[in-house]
Amino acid sequence: MIPMRDGVKLHTTIFVPRGVQAPLPFVFMRTPYGIAGAGRALRGYFHAFVTDGYIFVFQDIRGRYTSEGQFVMMRPPRPPRQRGDSSAVDESTDAYDTIEWLIHRVPNNNARVGMLGISYPGWLTVMAMLDPHPALKAASPQASPADMFLGDDFHHNGAFRLSYGFEYAAMMETSKEQEDFAFDRYDTYQWYLDLGPLSNVNARYLHGKIPTWNDYVAHPNYDWFWQKQAAAPYLTRVTVPTLNVAGWWDQEDFYGPMKIYDLLEPHDTGRVNYLVVGPWNHGGWAGEGAKLGDIDFGGPTGTYFQDSILAPWFAHFLKDQGELRQPEAITFEAGSNQWRSWDQWPPRRRTTERSLYFRAGGRLSFEPPAGNGAAAFDSYVSDPAHPVPYRHRPIQPTYSPHGSDWYAWLVQDQRFVDGRADVLSWETEPLADDVTIAGDITANLFVSTTGTDGDWIVKLIDVYPEEYPKDWKLAGRQLMVANDVLRARFRNSFEKPEPLRSNQVTPIRIDLHTQDYRFLKGHRIMVQVQSTWFPLIDRNPQTFVTNIFEARASDYRAATIRVYRSARRPSSVKVNVVRP
């Protein structure tokens, strides 16, 4: 138990290699998920570090498992005015105090520390970077959240991530250890539908006992609560060499690591802010990484990352070993299945902006529409009583001990919704040549609704050829390359929501984030648009209410949606195409 500055003691496990004479650096990871099985990491994800020789430190954060103190979900950093107050603590001070104890109490160390972690431990690594101990010499935040309202676990663009937000909060705050919520249905799609309005969560199940759920309800907009948790106000300098790691198909935190890299870039005068993005789901680089679902990447991408990128990077900064040959950004280009190096990300100097326009007859084209006819739109009815499932049913609980498709749902075949009347699709002709995109992707839609609020989900999809002898189970496959949702009440401001005007054409912009992907010759490019994605995203009543967490059942109404595709209102998806 290591004491912090306020007297709270944190449970910490230290692994020291036997028979090593030279002083060794520390590899340090802090976590809310328990460290009882930390030794397994030495045989798995940390195997390359074990071979190189390090002292390994794992720690339960405040209020979790056998550590003392009170757990606060995503504990905000202390304000600057409290920096001199020894009673003011946060995750940064706990990391600092632990490092101070380690370098003075653990024999035979070289007074250098590297920190890393995936997901919440990645965020804890970011917190340690804010006011780092002088011995912290390198940090790798991996799949770290950066903003829980704009793009990470709990919301995307203001749309509440219902199934994950509910299940994670219950898991983390029911007790000091992890405790899964007990569903009485295997298919949670039906459970969440039967739940009705979100106000029933506390009324029927949580009874006000889960602090994070209460925070969702009390803070439905991007107010001070979410802003003080976000990384943006604090990442105003590069304090240590930083290796940001993300996965293109991360089902939990893709926004975060890309945002952290972007926030640090303007301050990176020493050119020590790096980015690695691979073909992984959440934390997939900790395994072999040869496949995700049915998609084969042609080799063990995770093993390559561990042995050829991660371990040499830390060895350089913590042991002065080897010449650092790390480019600014390394990304895996799925489709062609090759690693690419870039001197900046996004690689604007090597790409050209182009737009994929929605056209009549379900066609998608790089050529804009020419006509302005009154019928230049496609429409559907969005009914909250019959929402579009976000993945194949049955939808198991997120972390079901009996197995769950959660981990690879982003690569599931989208044909399961392509024929629904409430999902619109547009696709190109088979490509005559490869089309490679690298960089930002943005949907620019012109829409209207008979309601006064609504959600819009946009997916960019690679459609495989119908004849695909290389792997017949992928024949005709619709693979999501990029996607996201916008809650339209936040189209102008996340702080001040406003209703839509019924039947009025409204432009909306949806950030589909970033990608490095090659659409191969003979494939098609598809875009899908829909207004429900359940129960990943809670149902929008489609009637504007002040707080959706307090909406009544009568507020939920079907609405007719139009997506326009004329020369004057050219709905499209903007991509950055790599020049030959």
Q: State both tokens at 350.
A: 């090597």
The residue out of 283, 317, 342 marking a domain boundary is 342
pLDDT tens track for 356-394:
999 999 999 999 999 888 789 999 999 999 999 999 999
- The CA-based angle 195-219-83, given to 5 degrees, is 135
Which amino acid is residue 122, in one-letter code? G
pLDDT (0 to 100) of residue 542: 98
Q: What is the pTM of this model?
A: 0.96
Residue 30 forms part of a structural domain: yes
pLDDT (0 to 100) of residue 19: 83
pLDDT (0 to 100) of residue 497: 98
8-33 as b/e: b if 16+ CB within 10 A:
bebbbebbeeeeeeeebbbbbbbbbb
pLDDT (0 to 100) of residue 528: 98
- Percent residues over pLDDT 70 in the chain: 100
Helix (H) or strand (E) holding 96: helix 91-105
pLDDT (0 to 100) of residue 80: 76
Which amino acid is residue 551, in one-letter code? A
356 and 469 belong to one structural domain: yes
450 and 537 belong to one structural domain: yes
In this prediction, residue 5 has a pLDDT band, given cuts at 50, 70 and 90, of very high
pLDDT (0 to 100) of residue 86: 72
pLDDT (0 to 100) of residue 455: 98
21 DSSP 8-state letter = -
pLDDT tens track for 275-303:
999 999 999 999 999 999 999 999 999 99
CA dihedral 266, 269, 271, 277 (to 10 degrees): -10
Domain coverage including residue 275: 2-142+235-342
**Across 1-14, average pLDDT:** 96
Q: Which DSSP string corresponds to 251-304?
A: SS-SHHHHHHHHHHGGG-TTS-EEEEEES-STTGGGS--SEETTEE-SS-HHHH
What secondary structure, in 3-state letters, does 141-192 show?
EECCCCCCCCCCCCEECCEECHHHHHHHHHHHHCCCCCCCCCCCCCCHHHHH
Q: How far apart are CA 512 and CA 427, in angstroms?
A: 18
pLDDT (0 to 100) of residue 515: 98
pLDDT (0 to 100) of residue 473: 96
Is the per-residue pLDDT at 204 higher than 90? yes
Q: State both tokens at 359.
A: 């056209």
CATH number of the CATH domain containing 439: 2.60.120.260
pLDDT (0 to 100) of residue 15: 96
Split into its structural domains, the chain has a count of 3
383 and 441 belong to one structural domain: yes
pLDDT (0 to 100) of residue 436: 98
- Provide φ and ψ at 301, rounded to 5°: -65, -35
Q: Which DSSP string corresponds to 433-466?
A: S-EEEEEEEEEEEEEEESSS--EEEEEEEEE--S
Residue 526 forms part of a structural domain: yes
pLDDT (0 to 100) of residue 87: 77
pLDDT (0 to 100) of residue 579: 95
Cβ–Cβ < 8 Å for 112, 103 = no
16 and 163 belong to one structural domain: no
pLDDT tens track for 453-471:
999 999 999 999 999 999 9
Residue 324 forms part of a structural domain: yes
The residue out of 173, 205, 227 marking a domain boundary is 227
Q: How far apart are CA 14 and CA 109, in angstroms?
A: 12
Q: How far apart are CA 424 and CA 563, in angstroms?
A: 9
283 and 369 belong to one structural domain: no
Give the residue, 546 or 372, on which the prediction is more confident: 546
Residue 149 forms part of a structural domain: no
In this prediction, residue 257 has a pLDDT band, given cuts at 50, 70 and 90, of very high
CATH number of the CATH domain containing 271: 3.40.50.1820
Rg of the chain over all Cα atoms, to the nearest angstrom: 24
Residue 43 forms part of a structural domain: yes
573 and 470 belong to one structural domain: yes
pLDDT tens track for 81-118:
777 777 789 999 999 999 999 999 999 999 999 999 99
pLDDT tens track for 428-445:
999 999 999 999 999 999
pLDDT (0 to 100) of residue 85: 77
pLDDT tens track for 313-354:
999 999 999 888 889 999 999 999 999 999 999 999 999 999
pLDDT (0 to 100) of residue 79: 84
Is the per-residue pLDDT at 262 higher than 90? yes
Is the per-residue pLDDT at 126 higher than 90? yes
Residue 497 forms part of a structural domain: yes
332 and 191 belong to one structural domain: no
The residue out of 227, 256, 282 marking a domain boundary is 227
Q: State both tokens at 371.
A: 């006509």
CATH number of the CATH domain containing 177: 1.10.3020.10
Which amino acid is residue 263, in one-letter code? L
What secondary structure, in 3-state letters, does 310-377 show?
HHHHHHHHHHCCCCCCCCCEEEEEECCCEEEEECCCCCHHHEEEEEEEECHHHEEECCCCCCCCCCCE
216, 250, 546, 555 from 202: Cα distances, Å: 12, 30, 19, 19
In this prediction, residue 199 has a pLDDT band, given cuts at 50, 70 and 90, of very high
In this prediction, residue 236 has a pLDDT band, given cuts at 50, 70 and 90, of very high
119 and 57 belong to one structural domain: yes
75 and 6 belong to one structural domain: yes
384 and 514 belong to one structural domain: yes
Residue 148 forms part of a structural domain: no
pLDDT (0 to 100) of residue 578: 98
pLDDT (0 to 100) of residue 322: 84
Residue 147 forms part of a structural domain: no
Handedness of CA 128, 129, 132, 135 (dihedral sign): positive
550 and 502 belong to one structural domain: yes
331 and 378 belong to one structural domain: no
